[in-house]
A and B are shown apart, each in its own frame.
Chain A
Amino acid sequence: MALLSKANQEALVGPLNLNNPVVVQVLGICSALAVTAQLEPAIVMGLSVTIITAFSNLIISIIRNTIPNRIRIIVQLVVVAALVTIVSQVLKAFAYDVSVQLSVYVGLIITNCILMGRLEAFAMMNKPWPSFLDGIGNGIGYAIILIIVGFVRELLGAGTLLGFQVIPQWCYDHGYVNNGMMTMPAMSLIIVGCVIWAHRAYNKDLV
């Protein structure tokens, strides 16, 4: 089987657009609301979820034929928990500030619906390589939305991007004020809603 056959391409690219986990399947919303007040944690969170989804998909897919059906959730959770712990420790070691900002949400990746959903729906019945691609695709599909929301929230809520001031001081001197509501989780729900609105307006067959 070719490494990037039609089916594999679909597993990788589908979740980026027409089968996006956040805006189409509406999964993983909680963390999308919680960590997107700034762009940097949003990017790190997106990357972490991508890595964990990809490798847990890969591992579960490799051992899928040996997992007894009755305890498969426990097995999946053990694998995910191990990966989450690794990522969390790596973040603590190399990106301490971001890991403090993300606080419990790195640990809570273990309960991310996207992860369990992909394991149950894809990795349990597909070969390792397509499962790996599917994990990467879903992780990136999740990360894209996080980055869009984080971009809007940090730009309008703090006037910065990745910590650098983007809105010029001139605007503040002339009465511009940062929008405090953008830093609240309520507003990110509205932004996710707007993204879904735009996405469905563009892809009419999803409505």
Chain B
Amino acid sequence: MNSLRKFFDNIKPNFQEGGKLHAFRSLYDGFETFAFVPNTTAGRCGTHVHDAIDSKRIMSLVVIALVPALLFGMYNVGYQNALAAGQLDNATFWGMFGFGLLAVLPKIIVSYIVGLGIEFTVAQWKNEEIHEGFLVSGIIIPMIVPVNTPLWMLAIATAFAVIFAKEIFGGTGMNIFNVALITRAFLFFSYPSSMTGDDTVWVAQNAIWGLGYDVPDTFSAATPLGEIAAGATTLSTSFCDQVCGFIPGSIGETSVVAIAIGACLLLCTGVASWKTMLSVFVGGACTGWMYNALGLSPLDACQHIVLGGFCFGAVFMATDPVTSARTEGGKWIYGLLIGFVAVTVRVLNPGYPEGMMLAILLMNLFAPLIDYCFVSHNISKRAKRAINK
């Protein structure tokens, strides 16, 4: 730690006014404040809220919470590849994990380089500090796409989302839509065949550097929700596999167990709101139960929650403090409606087997309205109380 601090102190003069690397000052500033909590705080006077940790530390916590799901996702990529090639008995744990690592790592690198590149450029251009919001988006983006998404598509979608969903609204903390979800939505509507088409996108098909196996081009594996949308009434995977995450799907979304570990961390540290998280699950379960009882969906409430991106969305995306509702009562409405819309899209629209992305984006749009209603209700309630006295 001390040597790192010394290193930062040593190179600092280069980036200050008049130094030869002054043009890259935002880059330096970004990395310094990422590594060390800055010792400057907002002024004592005025209306600032003071807290012991700043937003870079909160972001780092979310990234740590995402790691179990990411690691499991890497393993599952290798597992699905071995399963598809029929080589499951020969494959070793580390072989499968290594294959998954090689398949997923380029996506993470591309997402960070493109996203942070744009953020740094904009910060430099506007003479502002570097915003830290992309730390989380950059790791979520590779986790919510199928493993076969080409890197150039990922780069375009990330650039689109960072510019149009974030920078034009004013950067971190100002965006009304979740940036990672906009990336996915862009991919989903721009390149539908690479996101869901033909069910060939969910399993990695080619060996990388001697790890993994070549799968025939004609091999296809549908996600459980894809099977239901195609008209199946029973699933080809067991409930146990669905909970553990040994099913085809986007990289980080499959394992409920890994996501639950992340959820515990978020809830224990108080980073995510338990109200939002709980109400999404309640809304989804009630709606799933309703459609099951009406005979519209062969899946019961439990399966609706376990399958697809429901858990991932509920834990890591719906609770995004920037885009979700901020009033305590509003969080309940916001979460319940996300669960309701997600399951409704799944059941009633055969074109979209998974509705979590659309549900969260839709409710992102309504979150300010929900907040407005709760705040004005509170104002009128208190005004009445004052008048009655």
The reply on B190 being an interface residue by CB < 8 A is yes
Give CA–CA (A177, B192) in the complex, Å.
10
The minimal Cβ–Cβ distance linking A179 to chain B, given in whole angstroms, is: 5
Q: Which of A56-96 contact B (CB under 8 A)?
A: none
Contact between A177 and B193, CB atoms less than 8 A apart: yes
Contact between A179 and B150, CB atoms less than 8 A apart: no
The reply on B191 being an interface residue by CB < 8 A is yes
The reply on A168 being an interface residue by CB < 8 A is no
Contact between B191 and A177, CB atoms less than 8 A apart: yes
Contact between B150 and A175, CB atoms less than 8 A apart: yes
The reply on B186 being an interface residue by CB < 8 A is yes
Determine the chain B residues whose CB is within 8 A of the CB of A177 once the complex forms: 153, 191, 193-194
Q: Type the 1/0 row for A169-202, where 1 means its CB is closer than 8 Å to any CB of B.
A: 0000001010111101000001000000000000
Q: Type the 1/0 row for B190-202, where 1 means its CB is closer than 8 Å to any CB of A.
A: 1111100000000
The reply on B209 being an interface residue by CB < 8 A is no
Give CA–CA (A177, B152) in the complex, Å.
10
Contact between A179 and B164, CB atoms less than 8 A apart: no
Interface size class of B (residues with CB under 8 A): 10 to 19
Q: Which of B168-211 contact A (CB under 8 A)?
A: 186, 189-194
Give CA–CA (A182, B194) in the complex, Å.
16
By beta carbon, the residue of chain B nearest A182 is B190
Contact between A180 and B150, CB atoms less than 8 A apart: no
Q: Type the 1/0 row for B120-156, where 1 means its CB is closer than 8 Å to any CB of A.
A: 0000000000000000000000000000001011000
By beta carbon, the residue of chain A nearest B163 is A194
Contact between A180 and B164, CB atoms less than 8 A apart: no
Give CA–CA (A200, B227) in the complex, Å.
49
Give CA–CA (A179, B192) in the complex, Å.
9
By beta carbon, the residue of chain A nearest B194 is A177
Determine the chain B residues whose CB is within 8 A of the CB of A184 once the complex forms: 189
By beta carbon, the residue of chain B nearest A180 is B190
Give CA–CA (A182, B193) in the complex, Å.
15
Given A175-B150, A177-B194, also A190-B189 (CB < 8 A): no
Give CA–CA (A190, B190) in the complex, Å.
14
Q: Contacts A177-B191, A180-B189, A181-B189 given; 15 further ones with Cβ under 8 A? A: A175-B150, A175-B152, A177-B153, A177-B193, A177-B194, A179-B190, A179-B191, A180-B190, A180-B191, A180-B192, A181-B186, A181-B190, A182-B190, A184-B189, A190-B164
| A interface residue numbers (CB < 8 A to B) | 175, 177, 179-182, 184, 190
User: Which 10 A-B pairs give the minimum distances between C-beta atoms?
Assistant: A181-B190, A181-B189, A179-B190, A180-B190, A177-B191, A175-B150, A180-B192, A180-B189, A177-B194, A180-B191
